[in-house]
Amino acid sequence: MALLHAVFGSIKLLGYFLRFGLELLIRQPSTRQDRAAWLHRFCSTALKGMGVSLTVEGAFPARGALISNHLSYVDIVVYAALQPCVFCSKAEIREWPVIGWMTTMSGTVYVERGRGGSALRARSGMQAAAEAGLPVVFFPEGTTTNGDGLLPFHSGLLAQAMDSGEPITAAHIHYTLDLDNGPGVTAREAVCWGDSTPMLKHVARFLTLRGVHATVRIAPQPIVFSSGSVHRKIAAVEAREAVLGLSAVGEVVSAD
């Protein structure tokens, strides 16, 4: 049954990909607003097609930056399904199957660590998103985890967001599974992507799951930093505490 479920899920996803890919080729959206709206429609449809239910506590900010913990490639689909937005992500995401294509076509700002001019490009991308009236979403941990802990936040993108003068709001994402996925199958291994499992293999396993539920909590107010971007390391710690403060007992354990 799990294999059959995965086959049907794959067929549906392929259908969505073809449908929205054709729309992209025909309409060729040129503005950030249009591309973000396309990604929003695609991810909203794909999320339902994958059978992922969603609970949102709080309101997605209309502008500024939204920062979150990072558990899986599914995070991108979830946040894009909530509201049209622009992602600021590590350059490696361009190589992810399907996800890389759709984020590139939707105007994602890519950051190549250690490469000159990367910070300037990130700030320019954030400013362009703000001018277009779109919020920016990024994951300061810089990688996906299995949810056992919250990694230290990288300060680079955070400093660029602070320098832009736009508000920065914390969010937290968490996944659960129905019990009928079988003994020992948990969201920690099957949804979260925190190990060296090849992505396509992980996606194939994900598509066999039933009853995946995502919970997103969004802070009611932007983060108030004590020192501004002058002390970016301190700001990174404060941002991490803001995200950690949104987790419920048993959802994430501090890595401290």
> What pLDDT, in 10s, does the model give residues 26-74?
677 778 898 899 899 989 998 988 889 999 999 999 999 999 999 999 9
Closest by CA position to 52, among listed 153, 152, 191, 184: 191
Q: How far is CA 141 from CA 93, 98, 154, in A?
A: 14, 22, 6
256 located within any domain: no
Residue 111's pLDDT is 82
226 located within any domain: yes
Q: How far is CA 211 from CA 81, 173, 185, 195, 236, in A?
A: 18, 16, 12, 22, 34
16 located within any domain: yes
Residue 114's pLDDT is 61
Domain that holds residue 221: 2-244
- Provide the H-helix boundaries in the chain: 2-27, 32-49, 74-82, 99-105, 118-131, 156-163, 187-190, 199-206, 232-244
249 located within any domain: no
Low-confidence spans in the chain with pLDDT less than 70: 1-26, 113-118, 228-230, 249-256
Asked if 243 and 170 count as a contact pair (C-beta separation under 8 A), the reply is: yes
CATH code where residue 156 lies: 3.40.1130
253 located within any domain: no
- What is the count of structural domains for the chain? 1
pTM for the full model? Answer: 0.87
30 located within any domain: yes
- Bridge partners (DSSP) listed for residue 90: 111
